[in-house]
Amino acid sequence: MTKLGFLRLSYEKQDTLLKLLILSMAAVLSFSTRLFSVLRFESVIHEFDPYFNYRTTRFLTEEGFYKFHNWFDDRAWYPLGRIIGGTIYPGLMITSAALYHVLHFFHITIDIRNVCVFLAPLFSSFTAIVTYHFTKELKDAGAGLLAAAMIAVVPGYISRSVAGSYDNEGIAIFCMLLTYYMWIKAVKTGSIYWSSMCALAYFYMVSSWGGYVFLINLIPLHVLVLMLTGRFSHRIYVAYCTVYCLGTVLSMQISFVGFQPVQSSEHMAAFGVFGLCQIHAFVDYLRSKLNTQQFEVLFKSVISLVGIILLSAGGVLMLTGKISPWTGRFYSLLDPSYAKNNIPIIASVSEHQPTTWSSYYFDLQLLVFMFPVGLYYCFNNLSDATIFIIIGMILVMAFFLITYTFHSTWVTSEAYSSPSIVLSARGGDGSRIIFDDFREAYYWLRHNTPEVSEIRHAVDLHDRPAAFDSKHLCSSHIAFVCV
């Protein structure tokens, strides 16, 4: 009995151990459910953009960051070439190279290709962990564990993070949720430390994916809503000013981004909210020093003057081209038919096509219905009378969760775990038939054509100069090659 006494844990320790166990299971599930493509085919890079990312990562690990940043790739956009350092988001490559060198430092020898193949599943595990902490800040630990388990197997996220899908979204989703988590911590504490950590997470996001512009518009929108609802405080002021100033300076260190954070219309909302924060703080200071009548007169005068100056300055800067207009990415968000009607070359890419309504249920399944429920609970407090109803809902939800698990596993296995360059089919007896003609054709080109041969194709799997790639740097060159 004495020995068994050491195995007895207090309620707090049992609770902590159970949370750690569930979170660990979610992380392991998130990693393992993305390995179907490796088990079924082999460790292979999917599609074409991931192969370009792999080639640049291999160059980075072999030659170092300085040569990588100044690398002029004469095999891309042949014969024009491409400056790699100034035309890509380097976060994905740097992450893989850093992980590769860390593993080799500990004498864990693994090929850089395998690092690239398994990077997205690894970061999906990190995403499950950061989702737990993010949801825990919003609600509680129970909601955090459920959110971590959900995001571990949601098909919509799996489609961009299966093994071999070596693309920017593989780490960008993690970076986005990490930035949101740090932002919530900064808002709740008003701490410069958490604000600085949020800025660093935002910098990682900027270095990884062009979708960072949605993030830098969502955070200012949050601050603006807090102002309009009378919830703006010193904590919000410290958090946002630190994140905006430090995050903007850091984001401008990415060559592909450059001065866009202070010149592009997509970033002007963040700058405008930053200015409103200063005005709000100044108004609060004046309110404490003046009586009500004096304050109202001065407030109306200052607001009118500042508004006229800002509108005039913004109009002049836009007319002179100092502030660039919105890009097609934002216009396509507001109007899905914009790219089709105005930029056909962007609309020709399948991933830029408007999403069908059925695909939302295919990629989200039960989460489509859980979203409004979660939104409802965000606006309501728990009461004794609602517990009875909640118990019945939990039983119904448990049934849906079981079917959701089977659905997610099936979608992962059949829809998102097949590389585009290796095809498969079922024979009459149910056996699997593998068609590897794509790689065999490029293997033939590699060994039966001179190295200087130009291949009129958009990808370079054949290790020969390619006419162009998926980066639409020069539309006229694409038109010339196609004609």
Percent of the chain, pLDDT > 70? Answer: 83
Indicate the DSSP class of residue 89: -
Distance (Å, whole) CA 306 – CA 265 = 20
Kindly state the average pLDDT of the residues 412-440: 82
For residue 277, the tally of other CB atoms under 10 A from its CB is 22
- How many structural domains is the chain composed of? 1
Indicate the DSSP class of residue 230: T
Asked whether residue 444 is assigned to any structural domain, the reply reads yes
Query: 462 lies in which domain range?
Result: 437-482
Asked whether residue 459 is assigned to any structural domain, the reply reads yes
When pLDDT is cut at 50, 70 and 90, the band that residue 384 belongs to is very low
- Identity of the highest mean pLDDT range in 125-139, 215-229, 445-459: 125-139
Q: For residue 156, what pLDDT is reported?
A: 87
Asked whether residue 477 is assigned to any structural domain, the reply reads yes
Instruction: Look at the alpha carbons of 383, 386, 392, 394 in this order and tell me if their dihedral is positive or negative.
Output: negative
Q: What is the distance between the terminal CA atoms of the chain, rounded to a whole angstrom?
A: 85
Q: Regarding beta strands 82-83 and 72-73, do their DSSP bridges make them parallel or antiparallel, or are they unpaired?
A: antiparallel
395-422 burial, b for 16+ CB within 10 Å, e for fewer? eebeeeeeebeebbbebbeeebbbbebb
Asked if 32 and 119 count as a contact pair (C-beta separation under 8 A), the reply is no
Instruction: Look at the alpha carbons of 4, 5, 6, 7 in this order and tell me if their dihedral is positive or negative.
Output: positive
Minimum mean pLDDT range among 29-33, 210-214, 445-449: 445-449
- SS3 call for 76: coil
Distance (Å, whole) CA 420 – CA 399 = 35
Asked whether residue 463 is assigned to any structural domain, the reply reads yes
Distance (Å, whole) CA 131 – CA 148 = 6
Asked whether residue 471 is assigned to any structural domain, the reply reads yes
Strand partners, 423: 435
- Identity of the highest mean pLDDT range in 257-261, 340-344, 444-448: 257-261
Asked whether residue 448 is assigned to any structural domain, the reply reads yes
Kindly state the average pLDDT of the residues 285-304: 74
Tokens of 204: 């990682």
Asked whether residue 469 is assigned to any structural domain, the reply reads yes
Asked whether residue 11 is assigned to any structural domain, the reply reads no
Amino acid residing at 454: E
Radius of gyration of the chain (CA): 26
- SS3 call for 466: strand
